[in-house]
Amino acid sequence: MTVQPPPGASQDAARLRPRRSCMAVPGSNPRFLEKAQGLPADQVFLDLEDACAPLAKPEARHTIVKYLNEGDWSGKTRVVRVNDWTTEWTYRDVTTVVEGAGAHLDCLMLPKVQDAGQIHALDLLLTQIEKTMGYEVGRIGIEAQIENARGLVNVDEIAGASPRLETIVFGPADFMASINMKTLVVGEQPPGYPADAYHYILMRILMAARTHDLQAIDGPYLQIRDVDGFREVAGRSAALGFDGKWVLHPGQVDAANEVYSPSQEDYDHAELILDAYAHYTSEAGGKKGSAMLGDEMIDEASRKMALVVSGKGRAAGMRRTTSFQPPEA
Ligand code: GLV
Ligand code: MG
């Protein structure tokens, strides 16, 4: 079954949302809900799933509605993680939160996604609520967490299941449990394996995400006092092309923002390539298909690579420190 794009889906804007640091905030904890508002995280997600005890969930739904409506989340993407479809909680999570605070919510995160049908179900429920409440249909996005073997095997169909999808998110803790990986330290390499045990999983998620023009987000690192360890693990997924990572503690926010932003040098270089390419392909620059920028040959493929880096830098608010000077004619 293919769900048709809802009218008015503002996907381009959604795709450009910065998500270098995605802060997990337990929905049942008002102290954390207060504190998170002042942190420089790109995204917050208010959690009704695993950071929220089963008996606390009903009240946490209302606490989240209150904090979404009354809090100051400016500059942040606002997400709520609901419970997965195998529980009895999902529909009430969605109806309570979206009916109560849909106007102040950007996305729902669906955990433990196993197939495209689970995304369709959330898409349809959201559409009904949007129509009932008079909200713009299709504005609220979906983030899909891949947290078990079945989800990973089906990740391509999941990533293409709805135009509401904005990101595919790796959930390492549940995933490691699902495949019996032999370590309890989330995100760290299992002892005795000589290569990167996460490479295949991360690449699989990244390919599915990019195939459907979605962002790819890495999951949590639970040793919250070990910021160097966080940087190292984040550096691996950033190097592959991931857009950001969960943060569980204020101490991880700056590190994530830095690791998933381009360096100043790369950002300047990307902007130079874009300017130089625009010049050389123009009438004034000789309508060339490829040209030299210093010692480097640039062409259309260089422009595409530069666009990615410059897009990330601009989204992160970076300023260029160099400018392109066309050679004298
Ligand atoms: C996050 O939800 C995880 O399971 O790592
Ligand atoms: Mg999980």
Single out the residue in 259, 277, 294 at which a domain terminates.
259
> Which atom belonging to ligand 1 lies closest to the Cα atom of 186?
5
Residue 167: name the closest of 239, 242, 98, 238 by CA: 242
Q: What angle do CA 162, 150, 247 make, to 5 degrees?
A: 70
5 located within any domain:
no
Concatenated DSSP letters of 219-251: ---S-TT-HHHHHHHHHHHHHHT--EEEESSHH
Among the listed ranges 256-265, 295-304, 320-329, which one has the minimum average pLDDT value?
A: 320-329
> Counting Cβ atoms within 10 Å, is residue 106 exposed (0-12), middle (13-18) or buried (19+)?
buried
- Give the Cα separation of 271 and 322 in Å (integer): 9
In a shared domain, residues 140 and 206: yes
Number of domains within the chain? 2
39 located within any domain:
yes
Find the 148 Cα to ligand 1 centroid distance in Å. 10
In a shared domain, residues 172 and 55: yes
In a shared domain, residues 195 and 302: no
Among the listed ranges 13-27, 73-87, 158-172, 242-256, which one has the minimum average pLDDT value?
A: 13-27
> Which atom belonging to ligand 1 lies closest to the Cα atom of 220?
5
Residue 43, both tokens: 């995204």
227 located within any domain:
yes
Q: Quick one: pLDDT at residue 149?
A: 97
In a shared domain, residues 280 and 233: no
Find the 171 Cα to ligand 1 centroid distance in Å. 4
Single out the residue in 259, 278, 299 at which a domain terminates.
259
> Which atom belonging to ligand 1 lies closest to the Cα atom of 219?
5
In a shared domain, residues 122 and 70: yes
74 located within any domain:
yes
Residue with tokens 């996907």: 11
Domain that holds residue 82: 11-259
Q: Which ligand has the nearest atom to the CA of 143?
A: 1
In a shared domain, residues 220 and 292: no
- CATH number at 192 reads 3.20.20.60
**Confidence bin at 289 (pLDDT 50/70/90):** confident
In a shared domain, residues 63 and 89: yes
Nearest CA to ligand 1 atom 1: 171
Q: Quick one: pLDDT at residue 284?
A: 87
Q: What does the pLDDT look like over 147-168, one tens digit per residue?
A: 999 999 999 999 999 999 999 9
Rounded mean pLDDT of 5-27? 72
Q: What is the pTM of this model?
A: 0.90
6 located within any domain:
no
Best residue for ligand 1 mutational test, from 114, 147, 247 (most atoms within 8 Å of Cβ)? 147
Q: Quick one: pLDDT at residue 12?
A: 57
Question: Is the shortest distance between the CB of 171 and ligand 1 below 6 Å?
Answer: yes
Question: Is the shortest distance between the CB of 47 and ligand 1 below 6 Å?
Answer: no
294 located within any domain:
yes
Residue 274, both tokens: 């874009």
Q: Quick one: pLDDT at residue 328?
A: 75
3-state secondary structure of 81: strand
- Give the Cα separation of 24 and 175 in Å (integer): 18
323 located within any domain:
no
Rounded mean pLDDT of 11-40? 89
In a shared domain, residues 193 and 280: no
In a shared domain, residues 24 and 158: yes
